[in-house]
Amino acid sequence: MEKETIYKVKIEKKQQGTRIDLVLSLALPQISRSYLQKLIGSGAVTIDGTVCGNKKCKVEEGQEVVIILPEPQPLNVEAEDIPLDIVYEDEDLLVVNKPKGMVVHPAAGNESGTLVNAVLYHCMGKLSSINGIIRPGIVHRIDKDTSGLLMVAKNDAAHVTLAEQLAKHSITRAYNAIVYHNFAQDQGTVDASIGRDPKNRLRQAVTEQNSKRAVTHFRVLERFGRFTHIEARLETGRTHQIRVHMAYMKHPLLGDGVYGPAKNSFGVQGQMLHARLLGFVHPRTGTYMEFESPLPDEFEQILEKLRRSV
């Protein structure tokens, strides 16, 4: 994106009375909602030609929303020589196996040591700029304490194509998790909207307030009585989706102190969740590609302990 980019969104009847930031985040899934909110506040968004400087502006049917993405700013995130487990790489993208404990992109309190710092060094700064200067190349995220596969875009064309696949739910994403308690069924689907928890702004929750539809398909892999090893496949990709949906079903993830018990008998810090499988259509060749990551040692060790306890 060498020059400013202009997007136009026509408001439909079903969007009547919806906040402008929510409308744009759904229409432009390749751009993070926080970055869209910054653009709204900077005057980069107009409704029928009038600047909308407030993310809480409500839209009306038939209006035209225009958003101008400015030229990319020089990155103020430092490149760092941090080892990366690169599963695949070409001129358009990377597939990285992120370790547990690594933050994906810089934020307050985590300005260095992130995946973005490491990828910037590896790619010599050549990453997509669509998600702003803090999240170069980041098409989708996984939590700090979730391990596993993540795709990173090296250019804007690849970023847009991959983001469109995410929006259409055509990307394959399968996770392994260890959750509390036994399941009554062998497989199932959780279809429950997720938004910020009205009672705790630091958490997500199943709620109808300012939420987005979230769908998780799961199946039981192993039963251990007090715990169950499952596979969860994402149809949508909301913040903390698997963690929230499993807690909603009364099966919180082992080690997840935010949505489940603060302490556990294994002394695990951070949720037992691993992004094992990632599949997508290559943005340049159109070929479907699929990658798999083995379970981390900590995950395997806990499974062995559980198997011996049965």
What residues are annotated to the active site? 143
**Length of the chain in terms of residues written:** 310
Q: How far apart are CA 172 and CA 165, in angstroms?
A: 10
Residue 214 corresponds to which amino acid?
A
Q: How far apart are CA 39 and CA 55, in angstroms?
A: 9
User: Among residues 24, 44, 42, 46, which one has the least CA distance to residue 33?
Assistant: 24
**Residues near 83 by Cβ (< 8 Å), separated by ≥ 6?**
118
